[in-house]
């Protein structure tokens, strides 16, 4: 089940909405429809689909992807080259803005790490039915504003948003800057309240994806820029749009062979900032024993981290920017060594030097 956070800035005064009690649907197991995230006509039938993962870690001050929506152009361009792109909300979310891409899978960050480690698989779906959880710590006016947004998404986009629920106690979201590396991090003091709300939606309503709107502290840097209308008052629209077709997560013990799942071994390449290679997902992909993907490290996308490929001990192809990164992916997809596209990039083939021990040498001489 997909679970995402949506940060709610304070809305302008004067918002209003008629409140009504949510209806309760008959509980039953949701149907899952498998649908390939790529068109089979886009590549030769004797080749499998080319799958790439686009990662820009959250809360690390990335030059590209560290601001709402500014990594979307990268995702859109990459989606025109790869058959399937797997990415996460920090790349694909842009508050009131988003861009539908049928061959892009919207995967929550924690789930992406488990996928990379081979613990979870991704099952593509035709459509998810979405439930909405509100933090009890939100002001009533703020909750009404978000319900207005939810109704608008249902009416204008036809999104399958089923019901909402309010947690039985405030979640009390905390946030701070990690002094060791400078990245933004946080926690909720009452996760049990959130889990109870989610369990109620899943068990009593026809939902298989959940969006969570938590009340964040007001002292967040840059909040005023959002309130002045930079890109909108809430991230809820893009979250709902992403969840509507997000893949379901399948654990290793619950899946069988030939079920059409995407697994880590299906990934051909991974693109990420050059100084952000130390995450669980990045390391899992880079250290895979079988079907190891090409790791492409983008140097122009600087973050507060210092986890370069050399520091974390992984092998990566370094590029200056995302123009080069997507060019490398295009060559890799075509079965071409990307270095062949550069002047002097390919050296002469070298002979393999076989080392022979003294005992082997004695045996060979004796045999003659």
Is 98 among the domain residues?
yes
Is 211 among the domain residues?
yes
Is 85 among the domain residues?
no
Is 188 among the domain residues?
yes
| Span 208-237, pLDDT tens digits | 999 999 998 876 555 666 666 576 778 899
Number of structural domains found in the chain: 1
**What does the angle CA 70 – CA 185 – CA 100 come to, to the nearest 5 degrees?**
30
Query: What whole-number distance in Å separates Cα of residue 345 and Cα of residue 355?
Result: 28
* Residues of the chain under the 50 pLDDT cut: 1-3, 5-36, 39-41, 364-368
Is 278 among the domain residues?
no
Is 265 among the domain residues?
no
Alpha helices in the chain (DSSP H): 72-79, 89-92, 109-116, 140-157, 191-204, 223-227, 236-243, 280-286, 309-312, 322-333, 358-367
Please check whether residue 141 is in contact with residue 10, taking contact to mean a CB–CB distance below 8 angstroms: no
Query: What whole-number distance in Å separates Cα of residue 126 and Cα of residue 34?
Result: 6
Is 333 among the domain residues?
no
Is 287 among the domain residues?
no
| Span 33-83, pLDDT tens digits | 333 455 444 555 667 899 999 999 999 999 999 888 899 999 999 999 999
pTM metric for this prediction: 0.82
Domain extent, residue 152, equals 2-14+27-43+92-254
């Amino acid at each position: 089940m997909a679970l995402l956070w949506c940060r709610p800035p304070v809305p302008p005064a004067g918002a209003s909405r008629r409140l009504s009690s949510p209806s309760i649907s008959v509980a039953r197991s949701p149907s899952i429809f498998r649908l390939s995230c790529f068109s089979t006509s886009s590549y030769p039938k004797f080749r499998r689909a080319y799958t790439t993962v686009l990662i820009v870690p959250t809360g690390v001050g990335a030059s590209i992807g560290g601001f709402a929506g500014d990594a979307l152009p990268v995702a859109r361009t990459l989606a025109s080259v790869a058959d399937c792109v797997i990415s996460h909300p920090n790349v694909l979310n842009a508050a009131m803005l988003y861009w539908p891409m049928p061959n892009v899978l919207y995967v929550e960050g924690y789930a992406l790490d488990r996928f990379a480690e081979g613990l979870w698989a991704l099952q593509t779906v035709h459509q998810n039915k979405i439930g909405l959880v509100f933090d009890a710590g939100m002001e009533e006016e703020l909750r009404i504003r978000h319900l207005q947004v939810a109704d608008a998404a249902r009416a204008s986009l036809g999104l399958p948003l089923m019901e909402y629920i309010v947690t039985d106690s405030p979640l009390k979201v905390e946030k701070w800057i990690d002094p060791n590396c400078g990245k933004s991090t946080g926690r909720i003091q009452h996760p049990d309240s959130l889990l109870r709300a989610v369990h109620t939606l899943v068990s009593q309503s026809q939902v298989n994806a959940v969006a969570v709107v938590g009340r964040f502290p007001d002292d967040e840097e840059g909040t005023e820029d959002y309130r002045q209308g930079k890109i909108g008052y809430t991230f809820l629209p893009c979250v709902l749009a992403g969840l509507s077709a997000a893949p379901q997560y399948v654990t290793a013990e619950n899946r069988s062979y030939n079920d059409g799942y995407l697994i880590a071994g299906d990934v051909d390449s991974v693109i990420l900032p050059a100084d952000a290679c130390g995450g669980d997902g990045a390391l899992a992909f880079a250290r895979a024993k079988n079907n190891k993907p090409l790791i492409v490290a983008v140097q122009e996308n600087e973050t507060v981290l210092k986890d370069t490929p050399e520091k974390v001990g992984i092998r990566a192809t370094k590029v200056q920017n995302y123009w080069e990164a997507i060019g490398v992916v295009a060559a890799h997809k075509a079965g071409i060594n990307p270095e062949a596209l550069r002047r002097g990039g390919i050296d002469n083939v070298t002979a393999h030097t076989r080392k022979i021990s003294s005992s082997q040498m004695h045996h060979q001489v004796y045999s003659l």
